[in-house]
Amino acid sequence: MKKSLFNPLLLLAGLLVSNLSVAQVTPISGVVEPEISTAESPKWYTMMSSHLTASDRQNRFMKWDGSNLCTDQLTTPPTDAAYIWRLEKADGGDNYCVLVHSSGMRIVVPVEATAINNTMLEMSADEGAVWVLATSASTGQQQCADKQYCLDYTGISGAAYLNAADTSWDYGVTVYEMGTHQASGWFFYPAQYTPPTATKTVSVKSADSAKGSVSIEGKESTSVEVPETEALIVKATAADNYMFYRWVEEGTETVISYRHTYSYEGTEDKTLVAEFVEKDYPIMTRFYVTDLNQQNRYLGSVSYTAGD
């Protein structure tokens, strides 16, 4: 009697152990604890969905290719910038964050989204959706893996987790209320990423090459692309019988400078045009009425300090 009762108990215990063994996601190796950071000191990651059951939804890394927010199934953490993200600090608490792509774009949740309908998420260059970062286990789910996290959207009451959708939604990214140990969980892998340096293009032209030439100091070309923080010295050299008049912005009458040597320190793309005129030295006479010795005196010479 005791034996017959003991055997079913062993069988039941074995089934429970078996079920538990498959209920926990096994991530690709290299997963780390994610850190919320700032734009000045970013921590970059690739993010893999922790989906457990459907084979086509496992090991899917979140991606923004400039057009589509989706996931790709990969066997190792990717290194391409399209898959690289950071968690930027947001107002609300220490674990509140915005998901920022390496391109600077941010994940946003459409206003019509709910936690029970698969509304695909979007990207924006403006402020992104705010999420609460937490371990999947802290939500009450069972058999969660170590370092498995979820992101709960603060704009919907109750649970609304960042979720990797299935093939019927072209493997897009959405919010959903259920299963942080399924597709609503994520693993984070450290990534190396250096944002490209912002640049500007500066060009110089002569309004009339017969009257004068132009150059950019230290550069062989009259049109260069440089870091936007770099100052460039542009020079205008008048031809014989001509003199430099002014620098203007191409296509406008906007005067940039009346100095033939000018340092452009702006961050925007700019084309500067040098204008030249025929030499003209008008006679200058002093107008003075009270002292005969100082009346009708013509300017004979002048000195100046460069830059004044």
Give the predicted TM-score (pTM) of the model: 0.65
Q: Among residues 102, 113, 97, which one has the least CA distance to residue 151?
A: 97
Same domain, 131 and 272: no
Same domain, 56 and 177: yes
288 pLDDT higher than 90: no
For 73, the token pair is 């199934």
Residue type, position 5, single letter = L
Q: Among residues 181, 188, 180, 244, which one has the least CA distance to residue 212?
A: 244
Average pLDDT over residues 125-154: 92
Confidence class for position 117, pLDDT limits 50, 70, 90: confident
Tell me how many domains the chain contains: 2
Which long-range contacts link 249-257 to residues 24+ away (Cβ below 8 Å)?
249/273, 250/203, 250/205
Q: What is the CATH number of the domain that holds 63?
A: 2.80.10.50
Structural domain span for residue 206? 199-279
Same domain, 58 and 142: yes
Same domain, 88 and 144: yes
pLDDT at 306 (0 to 100): 67
pLDDT at 246 (0 to 100): 96
pLDDT at 286 (0 to 100): 63
Pairing assessment for the beta strands 270-278 and 199-206 based on DSSP bridges: parallel
Average pLDDT over residues 214-237: 95
Q: For a pLDDT cut of 70, what percent of the chain falls above it? A: 85
Same domain, 135 and 241: no
Q: Averaging pLDDT over each range in 9-13, 240-244, 279-283, 294-298, which range is the top one?
A: 240-244
Q: What integer best gives the mean pLDDT of the chain?
A: 87
